[in-house]
Structure 1
Amino acid sequence: MGDLKRVPVGIVGASGYGGVQLVRLLMDHPGVEVVYLGGESSAGKSFSDLYPHLSHAVDLKIEAIDLDNIASRCEVVFLSLPNGLACQMAPKLVEKGCKVLDLSADYRFTSLETYAAWYGSDRNDEEIAGTAVYGLPELYRDRIKEAQLIGCPGCYPTASLMALSPLLKQGLVLPETSIIDAKSGASGGGRQAKTNLLLAEADNSFGAYSVGGRHRHTPEIEQVCSDLAGHEVRVQFTPHLVPMVRGILATVYATLRDPGLVREDLITIFRAFYRSSPFVKVLDGGVYPQTKWACGTNLCYIGIEVDPRTNRVIVMSAIDNLVKGQAGQAIQCLNLMMGWEETQGLPQMCFYP
């Protein structure tokens, strides 16, 4: 792939966990050159001031956020910012011809009313928001290839939807019976200081949060489920915090329409559904995924079981929340947008043990 044109890329919000994952992955990507790192509170600092362990590889300063400057230097811009900020920047960047990949929730929703209800901010960028494509390549690959603005999925929705999509698209389950029981490592909470993420608080403990349909990722999951099923779908989603750094395991339960389906049938269906998806690994019968297998990779491991007593299918989905659940998936979308090999620059070998 030595003939790849090296595309100039910028990252706005490079100081957080999503930003540093983007830097790590893009520095190894043969098709891009990182030319701009932007931030507000960290502007003026060297990137190595924030991450000293990368001083040998990244010789860039965090610059102030100036959209005209960014657009003049970058062909592609990743926005790795808190919710509510990307929608103030993306319209101008798109207007100036940049391809924009937003890692926040700002462009994940087809309805801005839904966004406002869950994220509490009104918007005036309806026109540009209407052009955004949901950045889950396994479902929307063809649309992503043609897009200029991508709303990259959340980490919980990615893990959950990988497990649910074949079931809903093929009409294999009763959609309203879908239950998602998901667990995430502490890096999903970001790099800001938060009491519940302190080692003394989180270690040797395990608990649920945002119970009862209160988590902001719920409407995002339901939006895609409804699209797949062809009618409005409600799911039960309960997230948990696990005392580990990286990884999400989503265990999904749903009632089968056909009680005659067995595990091997579903494995065959899932493998056919994901046959063109190089990052999805549907495991053999009796093998169940572990988060460590996906650590540091852009892979999603899926295990499937059927309980004939309850007529339920149980699908387990494991990803690295910072890679397939965030930065890696954004780069997977970039590869599609640029017409490159989908796997370009993305790791498929985990950190193990």
Structure 2
Amino acid sequence: MKKLKVGILGANGYVGYELVRLLYAHPKVQITYLGSRAYENKAYNEVYPAFAQKLDLKCEDKSLEQIAPSLDLVFTATPQGFAASVINEKLLNECKFIDLSADFRLKSKAIYEKWYHLEHKAEKLLKEAVYGLCEIHREEIKKAHLIANPGCYTTCSILALYPLVKEKIIDLSSIIIDAKSGVSGAGRGEKLENLFCEVNENFKAYALSNHRHTPEIEQELSLAAKENLTLQFSPHLVPMQRGILTTIYANLSQKIDAKKLKELYKDFYKNEKFVRIQNTLPEVRFVKNTNFIDINALIDERTKRVIIVAAIDNLLKGAAGQAVQNMNLIFGFEEDLGLEMIANL
């Protein structure tokens, strides 16, 4: 079978590297374009020596108009605002796009501009873009030309809460999401707060009440609930390279025991290859370098609250792995093709 020709914009970032790593080993993909302004004309195996004797393709900085006609799919692992400024209907007729920024995740231009402080330059495409959370929007994804790949915190939070919200098991006004992420979630750019001496032996909260993933979580869970909801999202930075651990609290709105709660999750996700409902509390190390999300839900009988714990690798299920999962759906491949990894402890 003819291999899929793909291009990656932003190939030099952490997410871009993970995309290259996954797609290089994918049996039905040929990487034919690597976009990077910072490393233009430099061989990729010089940027990342892990690809020595494997991938000597040079990084380039061409326009989408130049590269789209020769590609089947473009991944845009680029800063917020870029994809919306360059993707248009003409390009979508030439190839398909999976955008890993936030440019097409929110359906409201006004909400995007409020939270990202950027003008959205492709409002007409917001309706066309499909939110690429495979376990929730699988059938829409299969027919899509433009995928908005979900954020990392959002993937972990939405999948952990979705069955409870959909079935109205919890009080929707009581949701508190306490999330912790590794430093790679902030990207590869040079930032003082991400230097080794700033994060090592440290643990801090940040962006309380105004983290950009908040409206994304609320949007998708509101769709599940069929009513608007508002929740509390509190992110933290921990001194590890990768991974997200999320602990979620909500008041029960109806009586349910621990056994039925576990059965609800197992039944809801029974056909999902990347969702594992665990009997032990999830840990980041057991999902590291995989496309899995591990979830466990418990009931505190004393407080009448449900406690959900979930873990993902922010660079894989929270970004590049999920993007490949979306690609597999769009082009009719097995959903786990190229993603059959087990955590390396």
TM category (shorter chain) comes to over 0.9
1:94, distance to aligned residue in structure 2 (A) = 3.5
Mapped to 2, the partners of 1:298 and 1:334 lie a distance apart of 14
Q: Residue 319 of structure 2 aligns to a residue in which SS?
A: helix
Divergent runs of 4+, >4 A = none
- Can you list the C-alpha shifts for 1:17-53, whole angstroms capped at 9, x where unaligned? 0100000000111111100001222211111221112
Contact 2:14-2:187 at 8 Å conserved across structures: yes
TM-score by length of 1: 0.95
Give the unaligned 5+ runs of structure 2: none
Q: Does 1:189 align with 2:186?
A: yes
1:95, distance to aligned residue in structure 2 (A) = 3.5
Indicate the residue corresponding to 2:175 in structure 1.
Answer: 178
- Can you list the C-alpha shifts for 1:139-189, whole angstroms capped at 9, x where unaligned? 111111111100001000011111110110111111110100000001101
Contact 1:332-1:343 at 8 Å conserved across structures: yes
Q: Residue 324 of structure 1 aligns to a residue in which SS?
A: coil
Contact 1:160-1:180 at 8 Å conserved across structures: yes
Indicate the residue corresponding to 2:344 in structure 1.
Answer: 351
Q: Residue 232 of structure 1 aligns to a residue in which SS?
A: coil
Choose from 47, 52, 55 the match for 1:50.
Answer: 47
1:91, distance to aligned residue in structure 2 (A) = 1.3
Indicate the residue corresponding to 2:217 in structure 1.
Answer: 221
Matched-pair identity in %: 43
Choose from 306, 314, 330 the match for 1:337.
Answer: 330
1:55, distance to aligned residue in structure 2 (A) = 1.8
- Can you list the C-alpha shifts for 1:231-255, whole angstroms capped at 9, x where unaligned? 1100100000010001000111111
Give the unaligned 5+ runs of structure 1: none
Matches within 5 A, 1:176-255: 176-211=173-208, 213-255=209-251
Choose from 58, 62, 78 the match for 2:59.
Answer: 62
1:56, distance to aligned residue in structure 2 (A) = 2.2
1:121, distance to aligned residue in structure 2 (A) = 1.8
Q: Residue 35 of structure 1 aligns to a residue in which SS?
A: strand
1:123, distance to aligned residue in structure 2 (A) = 2.6
Q: Does 1:317 align with 2:310?
A: yes
1:207, distance to aligned residue in structure 2 (A) = 0.9
- Can you list the C-alpha shifts for 1:306-349, whole angstroms capped at 9, x where unaligned? 10111111111100000000000011011111111111111331
Contact 1:93-1:100 at 8 Å conserved across structures: no
Contact 1:39-1:65 at 8 Å conserved across structures: no
**Compared with structure 1, are the counterparts of its residues 93 and 56 closer, same or farther at alpha carbon in structure 2 (3 Å cutoff)?**
farther
Mapped to 1, the partners of 2:62 and 2:213 lie a distance apart of 28
Matches within 5 A, 1:85-124: 85-91=82-88, 94-124=91-121
1:92, distance to aligned residue in structure 2 (A) = 5.4
Choose from 255, 260, 264 the match for 2:259.
Answer: 264
Contact 2:43-2:57 at 8 Å conserved across structures: yes
Amino acid at match of 1:148: H
TM-score by length of 2: 0.98
